[in-house]
């Protein structure tokens, strides 16, 4: 039993090192540029000028299940409600970068 647990732990470690998280591959500085060029008009400082309760603050992202890279990438890519889709305007790397930037800023309280 102990051998199986150790093998599983080793497999997880190898998997993690072989396939790093998208946030690690993202360029947060580029995400800031993308955000300022495409998102800041509605989301300056993590706010939302269209729907005041759906901000980019950590608590709001958690409340609306938008507190993961996957959820933010999906929202930016496909849009929803008043949020336009950026699929044709931004490439995949730009979308990943801006999603990482938003998560990073929300963790820091947009300071």
Cβ-in-10-Å burial (0-12, 13-18, 19+) of 105 comes to: buried
Average pLDDT over the chain reads 88
Check the annotation: does 51 bind a ligand.
no
- What pTM, to 2 d.p., does this model score? 0.77
Q: Where are the domains of the chain?
A: 22-107
Say whether pLDDT at 21 is over 80: no
Say whether pLDDT at 23 is over 50: no
Check the annotation: does 66 bind a ligand.
no
18: confidence class by pLDDT, cuts 50, 70, 90: low
Domain spanning 22-107, CATH class: mainly alpha
pLDDT digits (tens, 9 = 90+) for 33-83: 999 999 999 999 999 999 999 999 999 999 999 999 999 999 999 999 999
Check the annotation: does 83 bind a ligand.
yes
């Amino acid at each position: 039993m102990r051998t199986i647990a150790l093998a599983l732990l080793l497999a997880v470690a190898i998997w993690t090192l072989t396939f790093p998280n998208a946030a690690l591959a993202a360029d947060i500085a580029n995400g800031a540029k993308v955000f300022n060029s495409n998102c800041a008009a509605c989301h300056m400082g993590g706010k939302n000028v269209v729907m005041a309760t759906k901000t980019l603050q950590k608590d709001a992202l958690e409340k609306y299940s938008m507190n993961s890279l996957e959820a933010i990438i999906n929202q930016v890519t496909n849009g929803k409600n008043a949020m336009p889709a950026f699929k044709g305007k931004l490439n995949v790397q730009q979308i990943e970068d801006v999603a990482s930037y938003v998560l990073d800023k929300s963790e820091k309280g947009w300071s």
